[in-house]
A and B are shown apart, each in its own frame.
Chain A
Amino acid sequence: MIESQRHSFHLVDPSPWPISGSLGALATTVGGVMYMHPFQGGATLLSLGIIFILYTMFVWWRDVIRESTLEGHHTKVVQLGPRYGSIPFIVSEVMFLFALFRASSHSSLAPTVEIGGIWPPKGIGVLDPREIPFLNTPILPSSGAAVTWAHHAILAGKEKRAVYALVATVLLALVSTGFQGMEYYQAPSTISDSIYGSTFSLATGFHGFHVIIGTLFSIICGIRQYLGHLTKEHHVGFEAAAWYWHFVDVVRLFLFVSIYWWGGI
């Protein structure tokens, strides 16, 4: 066990999850390409690949929880890995979303003559930013405030309160996602409506996808907190979730200002 090793690092046991994740990624990419070109079986391979990746994530992270919380391998130095590693991951997500924002600016700041040199293009039904978007915009930061509340509760050792705070975080996030779904459903234009639809849908859609991932992460944290996994000194998973959630939050604000508000006038 950990007492028998004379160093504070974690040498992991051999695991099949890296290879299974890679095979899942291979299936997803090949299946995706097959699906988008006229090859038989593309959709099946794509879905199998995605399911495989999701399964790998589940079992890999379950193993991490087992090794850390239940077996005690995550000493202070081991914790630095996931903690500081989450930061480059979030930065990579920022870069991805930055590319989508850039696409939107590229098309909207100097609209081409093919769409009439104006933005939004003629005939595109634009959502009024003062309606659902404006409603959704304070909901996500409130969720961010709730996750901060949860963090303070964890640090203060108030376990039950932390569970309530995480429930509030998740509920607000779900409400926001629900509103966003409603907005998409009754929006006057779609993804296929001109470059406006493409850039709008990609930016808001991928942001929404990240919201869903963040919500899932927060739900898992809530469950773990409920089960007593998180202590006031050791809650790296929760911190990563909170950072990710704040990032999603900030992106939402940029989204509102640049795409909903500025892009619609």
Chain B
Amino acid sequence: MEEVHLQTAPADFRFPSTNQTRHCFTRYIEFHRCLAAKGEESGDCEKFAKYYRSLCPVEWIEKWNEQRENGTFPGPL
């Protein structure tokens, strides 16, 4: 059997408490800001993508993606 490599987002000292909502939101925004700054093709943004996908509930990600498409996303992208 091959070793399955399990990984999640690293503990971030900016978000020390149990409620990691803000951590998830910040990583989501960091990913999109990274895309805006470095471009879609660059591979630097992948790590942010992995982090937010580990942390955030899928429903939130879908809602935020929809908001971004409509232009109603409230965060500072």
Interface residue ranges, A against B (CB under 8 Å):
113-118, 121-123
Contacts and interface: CB of A to CB of B under 8 A. Distances in A.
B25 A113 contact: yes
Nearest to B73: A116
8 contacts: A113-B21, A113-B75, A116-B74, A116-B75, A116-B76, A117-B75, A121-B74, A122-B75
B22 interface: yes
Q: Nearest 9 CB-CB pairs, A to B?
A: A116-B74, A116-B75, A113-B25, A122-B74, A115-B74, A118-B76, A113-B21, A117-B25, A117-B75
Nearest to B76: A118
| Size class of the B contact interface (CB-based, 8 Å) | under 10
A78 to B, nearest CB: 57
B27 to A, nearest CB: 12
Contacts of B26: 117
A114 B25 CA distance: 10
Interface string B45-77: 000000000000000000000000000011110
A123 B67 CA distance: 14
A195 to B, nearest CB: 12
Nearest to A112: B21
A118 B77 CA distance: 11
A122 B76 contact: yes
Given A114-B74, A121-B74, A122-B76, 7 more contacts: A113-B25, A117-B25, A117-B26, A117-B75, A117-B76, A118-B74, A118-B75
A23 B22 CA distance: 50
A113 B21 CA distance: 8
Identify the interface centre among A113, A114, A118, A122: most chain B CB within 10 Å of its CB: A113
A24 B76 CA distance: 50
A113 B22 contact: yes
Interface in B12-46: 21-22, 25-26, 29
Nearest to B77: A116
Nearest to B74: A116
Contacts of B75: 113, 116-118, 122
B55 to A, nearest CB: 12
Identify the interface centre among A117, A121, A123: most chain B CB within 10 Å of its CB: A117
A115 B25 CA distance: 11
A164 B29 CA distance: 60
Contacts of B22: 113, 117
Contacts of B76: 116-118, 122
Identify the interface centre among A114, A115, A116, A118: most chain B CB within 10 Å of its CB: A116
